[in-house]
Amino acid sequence: MTPFTFTPIGVIHSPFQEKTETPIQAIRSNARGSVEVFPEYTAGLEGIEEFSHLILLYVFHRSEEYKLMVQPFLDDQKRGLFTTRYPCRPNPLGFSVVGLTARRGHTLEIAGVDVLDGTPLLDIKPYIPDFDHRTGVCCGWYDRRAFP
């Protein structure tokens, strides 16, 4: 297949400088941060303040070499990479659902940030429960994990 090239549309700012500081998933974070959308994309933010939550798609820019078997942060056994949200991946893409607390021009103030400061932002999508929430979900090893 032909490789894809992505151009960041902004930068995510957070209080986290080191990987060991970042929370495990946005839902487990109370940290505040901001999303600096590059000025040329400001028009795309029109109406975003009407949403309480956003999905941020980004690059794990400090990701290291990936392995196909990894030990998830909340488990004590190795698992297949694609059954985890481990950040070291063949294509180091990540996503977080964060709370939107304010918009100031081309800057979005967010709550629940779980990424490193300076993370390149690829896209923003609104979180819409009718589209994003599922019931009757099975979560494999996560449902049987030893850690809370």
- Mean pLDDT value across residues 104-132: 96
pLDDT at position 148, please? 64
Partnered with residue 33 across adjacent β-strands are 110
Least confident of 15-29, 40-54, 111-125: 15-29
- Mean pLDDT value across residues 62-70: 91
Q: Are 97 and 125 in contact (CB under 8 A)?
A: no
- Beta-strand runs (E) in the chain: 10-13, 32-37, 53-59, 69-70, 79-80, 93-104, 107-111, 119-126
User: How many angstroms separate the CA atoms of 38 and 7, rounded?
Assistant: 11
Quickly state the pLDDT bin for 76 (edges 50, 70, 90): confident
Domain ranges in the chain? Answer: 10-144
pLDDT at position 67, please? 92
Quickly state the pLDDT bin for 129 (edges 50, 70, 90): very high
User: How many angstroms separate the CA atoms of 12 and 35, rounded?
Assistant: 5
Q: pLDDT tens, 3-22? A: 999 999 999 999 888 887 87
| pTM for the model | 0.89
What is the C-alpha end-to-end distance of the chain, expressed in Å? 40
Output 63 or 13, whichever has higher pLDDT. Answer: 13
Q: Which residue has the tokens 């975003």?
A: 48
* pLDDT for 74 beyond 90: no
User: How many angstroms separate the CA atoms of 28 and 26, rounded?
Assistant: 5
Q: What sign for the dihedral angle of Cα 62, 91, 69, 116?
A: positive
pLDDT at position 93, please? 95
66: tokens are: 């990936």
Name the CATH code of domain 10-144 (choices 1.10.357.10, 3.10.20.30, 1.10.3720.10, 2.40.30.70): 2.40.30.70
